[in-house]
Amino acid sequence: MNNVSISIVKNVAEGVELKHLYCDPTRQERKALGIDNDLERREQFWLSRLEPHLNGERILLVCGASHLESFQRRLLDKGVKAEVLPAQFGVGLPPLGTTEMFGTFLDL
């Protein structure tokens, strides 16, 4: 697990009753696996962390724009329905505090 004390994504996931996972490799894992800035190897790592959960569970994965198309393609190649939310998703949402506001946006 990454050394993170507060995770907004974790709070959102729990608010909409989704399991939360840290999929990104830690600094030590990146170094050991030689991932550094290699997008393909990083996405492969994410996929390995997600694979046990690709059995029909609903998953919200938050990633940078440079991964949207390529990671969606990886998931689709594995037969996993993957939908990319619009760019700038969530911009302008009210502050966290209620979960009702997320149901509409995350009901894929």
Using the 8-state DSSP alphabet, how is residue 99 labeled? S
Please give the pLDDT value at position 87.
61
Q: Cα separations (Å) of 94 from 41, 43, 90, 98, 105?
A: 35, 31, 9, 9, 13
- Does this model's pTM top 0.75? My answer is no
Residue with tokens 């390995």: 48
The answer to whether 27 touches 35, Cβ cutoff 8 Å, is no
The model's pLDDT over 75-87, given as tens digits with 9 standing for 90+, comes to 999 888 888 876 6
Please give the pLDDT value at position 48.
93
Pick out the chain residues at pLDDT < 50.
96-108
> Where exactly are the structural domains of the chain?
8-106
